[in-house]
Chains A and B, each alone.
Chain A
Amino acid sequence: AQSVTQPDIHITVSEGASLELRCNYSYGATPYLFWYVQSPGQGLQLLLKYFSGDTLVQGIKGFEAEFKRSQSSFNLRKPSVHWSDAAEYFCAVGSPWGGQNFVFGPGTRLSVLP
């Protein structure tokens, strides 16, 4: 069965610093991979997705992620964090149409220091 791990429960960075959020997955086939962001009291907003092709994916709000098949990873990066990036970030893997074959990670909470 597929699974997603996000090793960091909580990360704190200073505004302007670079950011990398880790995501590792277990999936039996070529995965669809997603990163979502959730601001407090809000639903989930898609940052970026990987279906196939170029393994470096650009998303909204200046985020990017790199798919590394050999490491079963899909880490999210941003070169310079803004205070408004403070939120919870979820990695997800699987087919969006697959019912139980779409799994979310536990999430990483990002705090940003002024």
Chain B
Amino acid sequence: NAGVTQTPKFRVLKTGQSMTLLCAQDMNHEYMYWYRQDPGMGLRLIHYSVGEGTTAKGEVPDGYNVSRLKKQNFLLGLESAAPSQTSVYFCASIGMRGAGSNQPQHFGDGTRLSIL
């Protein structure tokens, strides 16, 4: 099915290690988002992108970097993982034109990340 795909689904890291989470969407959406979900706090926006080659900071950007080299992919990087980054990460996308202009965000199934 078309949609938003996140890889990996689970990962355990040691403090100080680095890794990249991949989000891929096949709906030709312009906007893409990375959120983290923590108990009792809902989803908080980390970074987002309004188009290929553009990125912007969200509410909680510290410790993360992102890249949008291709329209369909949005990468979230942790350069030096910290225990405070243990969370569930969700990617989302939304279109701006045509059928996508009046639609909500489409979400991936999440990546559960544990930092030891």
Contacts and interface: CB of A to CB of B under 8 A. Distances in A.
8 closest residue pairs by CB, A with B: A104-B42, A43-B107, A104-B43, A44-B107, A43-B109, A106-B42, A99-B48, A46-B104
Interface residues of A, number: 21
Contact of A44 (B41, B48, B90): B90
B48 A105 contact: no
Query: How extensive is the interface on chain B, given as a class?
Result: 20 to 34
B59 A9 contact: no
Interface of A: 4, 9, 34, 41-46, 49, 51, 90, 96-97, 99-100, 102, 104-107
Interface in B8-62: 31, 33, 35, 40-45, 48, 50, 56, 58-59
B69 interface: no
B25 to A, nearest CB: 13
